């Protein structure tokens, strides 16, 4: 395993050309990324991932400009979720997991020795596929749980609570029952509660792993609105199986595919391009529903 | 919808009157069969009635069902009656024990029992002399000290097995399982030879509690491990993804989510030790006076009191022993219900 890592690293250094989306953005007149306040964005260089001997993901280089929404699409098992879990270092929780490559947040590798992994996860928040509010906490406690977990002192908790719930589009529905149990909400509300919870620690990047796959269309719509609003203040990466969703919410779309071997990134472009003029025939087949 | 009042609600899935009559008939025939069989064969006693009745009932219901609806229904009926029999067979001994304890214990219960100790009385004295206050306080102290020692160790062990999953998970799980089979007398002898003789050189409540702790840890650790394994991994991931360290995630999310299950684990631990007698006989010295200090001096306890009274043998002593049994059962019941109440109330909030 070690030798293969080193080989991959060498290969990476010589072959990788990170996709520069900023130039593409200008060419296609879509949202231009990057204000200073949001940081210089997130970039992965030659990321590989393994589960034991199984090579799950090969050589993913992507550049996520600050303040943009990027959708990752592709058939099941092509490594999309694995990829975003390498970004906030959740991948390493799986026994036997290994990785190669670099994940640069504001130019600093999150895997560099001496990095405080809990700080990384504060900067790169995550929303999971299944809504998972903490069962022992109330709605209010759930939103603020990140502060307690990371032992961050907040000056005005009530304001923060309202702000996060407001941004997640849940405030008007729960403002009168903040002391109720998180589990008493509907599935869609629970997922928005989880988004509010992720926002409370003020992340720079938000990873969303199929956040709407367990929800009804109404809740899905609310969450998509939320994503659009949030993209003004953070970088969002969303994994989705719903092509319309990718088209509705994202500025850029990356298509992942596994041909039996490790998952690869086939194509990345502004979303309108991917859906109207894909460069790769495999992308075209997928987005037009001819396979996968 | 609008004419709801004219429609009569029915329950077509319930048994018809005819079916109920047949069921009652089967029950009656099975009862008759048990009486006849016991009368004509050399089998005697209550047990024989039960045995014959259960066999006859299981057979008869399945035969009737076979005739009515074929062999699949017959098998279903047979398994149904076997399950019911199993449940009854489990309940009968427990109910019988409770009834016996109540019947024999109640005559010995009086107000004075709870306000006096046996410092100035012997087990063979008349019942209005002395009481078992010293035994109640002793048992409560023994259990409390054992709880203080074993709950943290037991739950930390469970956390090691479920959360840390370190190198020693396998051996530790094996040891904990093996320890739950340790006979209580072995735990008692261990404390006697490892602590009492070489170090403290005197009986005390603490020695008893140490041996009870040995018995209690595996029960708590194993039950707590099962409970913690039921907590969805999503919650641990969510906690970590919010920037919590493993310890903060466990303390703030995993343990609170498992709270009612952990209370059950502790209750089972108390159930394991509350009536434990062998190590108590070896280690506490069994005083007859109320001793509020668990760290020195002989300590009375309910099991010890019961054992001593039965050994004394006189009718008064035997009544005392039964009363002690009743108090012990009542005490355990109170501990259980209050723990359950506390656990469920917090979980509901």
More confident call, B338 vs A55: A55
B contacts of A136 (beta carbons < 8 Å): 253, 256-257, 259
Q: Quick check: is A220 in a domain?
A: yes
Mean per-residue pLDDT of chain A = 85
Q: Quick check: is A256 in a domain?
A: yes
A contacts of B249 (beta carbons < 8 Å): 149
Among positive and negative, which fits the CA dihedral B29, B31, B32, B36? positive
Q: What pLDDT score does B41 carry? A: 79
Mean per-residue pLDDT of chain B = 88
- The answer to whether residue A10 scores a pLDDT higher than 70 is no
**pLDDT per position as a tens digit, A272-283:** 999 999 999 999
- The answer to whether residue A22 scores a pLDDT higher than 50 is yes
* H helix intervals, chain B: 17-40, 46-69, 71-105, 133-159, 169-179, 184-191, 205-229, 233-241, 246-249, 255-257, 259-273, 278-283, 302-312, 315-348
Rounded CA separation B319/B127 (Å): 8
Task: Compute the nearest-CA separation of B72 from chain A (Å).
Answer: 40
Cβ-based interface (< 8 Å): residues of B facing A:
232, 234-235, 237-245, 248-249, 252-253, 256-257, 259
Angle between helix A157-167 and helix A217-230 axes, rounded to 10 deg: 120
Q: Quick check: is A292 in a domain?
A: no
Q: Quick check: is A97 in a domain?
A: yes
Average pLDDT on A113-132 reads: 93
For chain A, what's the residue count?
292
Please answer yes or no on whether B252 and A149 come within 8 Å at the CB atom. yes
Q: What pLDDT score does B81 carry? A: 87
Residue ranges and CATH numbers for the domains of chain B are: 15-107 (no CATH), 133-348 (1.10.3720.10)
* A56 and B CB contact within 8 Å: no
Q: Which residues have CB under 8 Å from B78's CB, separation 6+?
A: B58, B61, B62
Chain-centroid distance, C-alpha B10? 42
- The answer to whether residue A62 scores a pLDDT higher than 50 is yes
Q: Quick check: is A47 in a domain?
A: yes
* A residues 150-179 lying closer than 8 A (beta carbon) to B: 150-151
Burial class of A62 by CB neighbour count within 10 A (0 to 12, 13 to 18, 19+):
buried
Interface test with B, best of A88, A135, A208 (most B CBs within 10 A): A135
Q: Quick check: is A164 in a domain?
A: yes
**pLDDT per position as a tens digit, B16-47:** 888 888 888 888 988 888 888 888 877 777 77
**pLDDT per position as a tens digit, B176-186:** 999 998 999 99
Tokens matching residue B118: 């046996």
Give the range of the structural domain holding residue A100, as residue numbers without chain letter. 2-287
Rounded CA separation A229/A227 (Å): 5
The CATH number linked to A253 is 3.40.50.300
pTM of this structure: 0.79
Predicted complex ipTM:
0.80
Please answer yes or no on whether B238 and A150 come within 8 Å at the CB atom. no
Distances in whole angstroms, Cα of residue B228 to Cα of each of A207, B145, B243, B270: 28, 25, 21, 19
- The answer to whether residue A55 scores a pLDDT higher than 90 is yes
Q: What pLDDT score does B346 carry? A: 53
> Pick from B165, B263, B145: which is nearest to B212 by CA?
B145
Residue A146 zone, left/alpha/beta (φ > 0; ψ -120 to 50; rest): alpha
A contacts of B259 (beta carbons < 8 Å): 136
* A144 and B CB contact within 8 Å: no
Low-confidence stretches of chain B (pLDDT beneath 70): 1-5, 343, 345-349
Tokens 């149904």 map to which residue? Answer: B80
- The answer to whether residue A65 scores a pLDDT higher than 80 is yes
* A128 and B CB contact within 8 Å: yes
Q: Which residue in B has a C-alpha nearest to residue A150's C-alpha?
A: B244
Which of A90, A148, A197 is closest, CB to CB, to B240?
Answer: A90
SS3 state of residue B91: helix
Number of domains in chain A: 1
Q: Quick check: is A29 in a domain?
A: yes
């Amino acid at each position: 395993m070690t030798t293969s890592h080193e080989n991959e690293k060498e290969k990476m250094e010589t072959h990788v050309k990170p996709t520069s989306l900023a130039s593409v953005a200008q060419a296609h007149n879509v949202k231009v990324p990057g204000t200073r306040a949001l940081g210089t964005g997130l970039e992965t260089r030659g990321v590989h991932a393994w589960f034991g001997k199984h090579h799950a993901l090969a050589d993913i280089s992507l550049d996520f400009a600050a303040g943009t929404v990027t959708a990752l699409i592709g058939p099941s098992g092509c490594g999309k979720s694995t990829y975003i879990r390498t970004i906030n270092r959740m991948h390493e929780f799986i026994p036997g997991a290994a990785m190669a490559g670099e994940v640069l947040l504001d130019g600093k590798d999150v895997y560099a020795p001496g990095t405080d992994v809990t700080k990384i996860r504060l900067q790169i928040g995550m929303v999971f596929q299944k809504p998972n509010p903490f069962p022992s906490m109330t709605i209010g406690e759930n939103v603020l749980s990140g502060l307690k977990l990371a032992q961050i002192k907040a000056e005005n908790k009530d304001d923060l609570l309202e702000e996060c719930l407001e941004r997640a589009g849940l405030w008007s529905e729960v403002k009168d029952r903040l002391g109720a149990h998180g589990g008493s909400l509907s599935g869609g509300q629970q997922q928005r509660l989880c988004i509010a919870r992720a926002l409370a620690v003020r992340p720079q990047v938000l990873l969303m792993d199929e956040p709407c796959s367990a929800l009804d269309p109404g809740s899905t719509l609310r969450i998509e609105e939320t994503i659009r609003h949030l993209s003004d203040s953070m970088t969002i990466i969303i994994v989705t199986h719903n092509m319309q969703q990718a088209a509705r919410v994202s500025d850029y779309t990356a298509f992942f595919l596994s041909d039996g071997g490790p998952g690869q990134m086939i194509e990345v472009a502004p979303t309108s391009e991917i859906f109207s003029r894909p460069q790769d025939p495999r992308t075209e087949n997928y987005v037009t529903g001819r396979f996968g | 919808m609008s004419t709801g009042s004219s429609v009569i609600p029915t329950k077509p899935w319930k048994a018809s009157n005819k079916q109920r009559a047949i069921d009652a008939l089967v029950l009656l025939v099975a009862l008759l069969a048990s009486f006849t069989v016991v009368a004509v064969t050399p089998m005697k006693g209550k047990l024989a009635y039960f045995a014959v009745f259960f066999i006859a009932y299981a057979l008869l219901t399945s035969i009737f069902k076979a005739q009515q609806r074929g062999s699949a229904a017959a098998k279903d009926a047979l398994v149904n009656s076997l399950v019911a029999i199993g449940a009854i067979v489990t309940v009968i001994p427990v109910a019988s024990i409770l009834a016996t304890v109540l019947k024999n214990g109640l005559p010995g219960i009086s107000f004075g029992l709870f306000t006096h100790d046996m410092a100035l009385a012997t087990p063979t004295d008349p019942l209005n002399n002395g009481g078992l206050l010293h035994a109640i306080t002793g048992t409560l102290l023994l259990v409390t000290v054992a709880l203080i020692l074993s709950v943290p160790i037991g739950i930390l062990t469970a956390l090691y097995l479920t959360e840390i999953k370190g190198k020693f998970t396998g051996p530790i799980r094996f040891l904990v399982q093996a320890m739950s089979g340790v006979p209580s007398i072995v735990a008692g002898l261990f404390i006697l030879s490892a602590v009492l003789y070489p170090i403290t050189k005197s009986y005390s409540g603490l020695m008893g509690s140490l041996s009870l702790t040995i018995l209690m840890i595996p029960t708590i650790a194993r039950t707590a491990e099962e409970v913690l394994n039921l907590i969805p991994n999503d919650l641990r991931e969510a906690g970590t993804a919010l920037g919590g360290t493993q310890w903060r995630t466990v303390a703030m999310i995993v343990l609170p989510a498992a709270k009612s299950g952990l209370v059950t684990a502790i209750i089972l631990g108390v159930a394991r030790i509350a009536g434990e007698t062998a190590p108590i006989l070896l280690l506490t010295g069994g005083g007859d006076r109320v001793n509020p200090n668990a760290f020195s001096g002989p300590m009375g306890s309910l099991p010890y009191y019961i054992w001593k009274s039965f050994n004394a043998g006189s009718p008064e002593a035997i009544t005392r022993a039964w009363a002690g049994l009743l108090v012990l059962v009542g005490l355990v019941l109170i501990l259980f219900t209050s723990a359950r109440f506390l656990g469920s109330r917090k979980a509901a909030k």
